[in-house]
Structure 1
Amino acid sequence: MSQRPRASLGRVLGDLGDTLLELLCGDPDHEGEIGGIVIDDPDDEPLFPARALVLGVGVPGADLADLVRRMGAHGAVGVVVRSRPVSPEVRAAVQEQGLALLGLRRGATWAQLTALLRSVLAEDDIATIEQESLGGLPAGDLFAVANAVAALLDAPITIEDRNSRVLAFSGRQDEGDPSRVETVIGRQVPERYARLLTDLGIFRDLYRQQGPVVVDPADLGHQAVTKQRVAIAVRAGDEVLGSIWAVMEGEITPERAAGLTESAHLVALHLLRVRAGADVQRRLRTDLVSTALEGGAGAQEALARLGIAGRRLIVVGASLPADHERDSERAAEMNRLTDAFAVHLAATAPQAAVALVGGIAYGLIPVLPGGGDAEDRAVRVVQEFHDRVGASLPVVAGIGSVGADIAGLMQSRAVADRVLRVLRDGHVTQRVARLADVQTPSLLLELRDLAQARGERAVGPLARLLEYDEHSDAGLVESLEAWLDALGDVTAAAHALFIHPNTLRYRLRRITEVSGLDLGDPEQRFTVMLQLRILAPR
């Protein structure tokens, strides 16, 4: 098995140079492949892969020469900054370090650039099968396919999925109109254009017809759409995989229509290869992460294939609350969570490995040398993930301990599982935690497990209260627990129960009468509080 090749700096400029990037100075014709993307942050020393492409976000002009020298010392192949005039000092630094300085064009965002770079680089840290070819092009390389189709049709094209997301695009996008540039930069057909296409029945015709569909800009009536579009659906049998959109002026001759049809067949093969490859890689990554977490003879080899052998690691377990979604929907939501978690860690901890194992999204995060408290950093990284996706995915995550070997990795997973159980069952309000934050609730859950395994049942005063509530539905146990949680504050406890304080005072008197508890005795209060946590039905 061989490592899938990453793109060179020259290819990145060739694919993205029309709309996002320009060469400010330096030599882009470096031999070899880009090893990864690094975002420069003066307050957080990142982990530099070999031949990294560095994104200098918000770097002032006065600090640019220093940034170039620092990145050259780390072996970076290029630095990207916002487009600007380049001073002689910066040119000298670029020449001295032997790298290329690229400019991000005005109107494009760093988030868009990062997403596009990851698509072009097609980074894959797991070994894959030897490079295949389909139609004379590398299998699954949609950007190469897009450029080949553009050359065949003599028009800039985009390859889009059923949701109008741009999967790949060709060069020469500057020949399009403003709406095409906006679509390529955003990797998505803007909602206002998609709505117009829907209202005009373009998508309906596109998915019903076998041949091309012509979109006249005059029909859309939007000032940003000035050039004709020709689209054709990409099919595999009866399934529509996506579509090809060409900025193509003039009449659609039979020769042009035949070229579009042939292109659609070629793109369909590559889209199927991408989908199959993604499924294979997901299963392979899951097997490797699972093997590493379980320990045993194959764990070290699994870590080596994941590219994190010999590293100190922290295991993070992420999931959804126990009461979130039905079982039929939970699996799909967990797949979404795992994919989002993998994307987040790819930007913040590039060598991390993420996989869905046993219904939990586990992340194996390498510890940065000299990076301070590793658990604190893991909490920050995962908390940022929660803040980003919490509105749509109410994720909870447990942070494990630092593991220096296979045994330590297994211990880290055990700790993450303990923490995650507390969070999933809603015993605390936190959404991201480590063991120090939830140790007591975790121990109580383990005591509860032990009591259930031994068949323990509540006896004494609590048993009498439970029996009384079962027959009379008086809510005495619930009232007692709320009063204890409120440290004896009747007003606060009544508010939590949505009852009048006088009603709660009456129930407290009944609790004493029925159970025989002396609520003024701290020992009895502690005993019944512990029994409520361990023995009472919850």
Structure 2
Amino acid sequence: MVDIRGLVERVGPALLRPVVVPQDTCGVGDVVIAEPEDPGGIGTADVVLGVGITDRAWAVELVRECGARQAAAVLLKPPVCAEDSVISAAGEAGLALIEVRRGAAWAQLVWLLRSALAGTDPGAAAGSPQQVGSAGLGDLFRLADAVAEVVDAPVTIEDAHSQVLAYSARQDVTDPARVSTIMGRRQPDDVLAKFRARGTFRQLSRGGSAVYVPEQPDGTLPRLVVPIRMGGELLGSMWAVVTGEVSEERASAFADTAALVALQLLRWRVMTDSERQRSAGLVRSLLEGAEGWRAAANELGTGAEQHRVVAIDVRASDGTDEGHRLAMWEWITRGIGRGPMVAESGGVLYAVVPDRSGTGGWPALREALLAHIHEMDAADPRPLVAVGTATPVAELPESRGSADEVLALLRTGMVERDIAVHEQLWHSLVLARTAGAAGDAGVGALGPLQRLRDHDHGQGSEYLRTLHAWLRHPGDPRAASRELRVHPNTFRYRMKRVGALLDVDLDDADVRSALLVQLLAERWNPHG
């Protein structure tokens, strides 16, 4: 039987961090969700999740109650898990106190903890890329059970057409509408009509938070509903049958689970499409120049025309990269015409498109991508789109390499474009390659430029940027000052200080060229 230390290690530091762990720990029993006012379900050796605990006094009370009942650990989110009184209470109770990372969904944690206790791979339960091919509706049913524990109510997971995809096992709170929904695998038309009349679906289409629907005159119990969306697309919704108003903390925890459900739903939709998976394998053969690339090209029907590789990178600040990537995959395969010529590698989507006009060609995909990017919600991460050179199918690895080179420019922020095409950025690529070679040669250590670096670091000045602007706009201080967004007099003063610190002849063309190369290496390789 795994103890609390082993359980935390299995789930991983991305979600859990030990705050207090007793020297002697026993095996973990079960995972339960409890709050201080309802501790009855806590048993010996349980791991207790403090869902909705944001008050220090509540946290202390829960820790003491769990200690009295000989639980194994209490899991809390910041900031209460770092409070001295909570830490002291855990130490006195001989109880493990574990911090749950701020962005983690409670349903995800229930799912992963139970998988770890059952001896299965938590990564597989979460649907890691290595296990993604095995994702199925069974995972959605298990996830529905985890969400039901978080919201403390029976749950159904439905698609955008109100078809039931999964539902939780618990039936302690139910009504005829829920029974009919589960039996018919969709919400009955009369029930849908009532919710539409109340504006429930309109609220779901516009927002991202949980929507409370009061009890209906016909006895239909209250519902807490949350939209499931990813990448700007409404994928469906989750419905919890509740007995009355739900606390803000519990409703927020319920809404937080939507991202995890969206990820699993997208994973299931994408990865259970056998045609899409077969095509992705063929596309990877073309991108890598594998031995069977000719057969792959024939099966994909690429023809003899030239193609481009389009690299698309989606990075989300909330850690939902995979969900947004899968949403983009679905969107592309619906929009490029005759076939889903898309594959994923290293967290990047690669689309192979013919370099010709018309349906399915690169210009059509470019226009569709631009429209899609401009229509995205402000909260959605904007994808980085890098386009490789047009090449014969046999040379697609070269097109992929050029797309990756452009993608590197976008990632550093040195180039800012909705869609960056390799041949249109030749000048930036020349500078990037020159800077890379200069950085490898150690040119930054030569000459007096270190004095400016030291001054900027110690005094908070911007003399390196000032010098770079002066070199970029020779003889035009107004243009240089506009680039820096300072007054021309401020720019001239800075340049006097730069000249004094460097103590070199800035009128010498070779000195200016050498400084420009050093600054390029500094700018394009800031960590090199």
Q: What TM-score does the superposition give when structure 2 sets the normalisation length?
A: 0.48
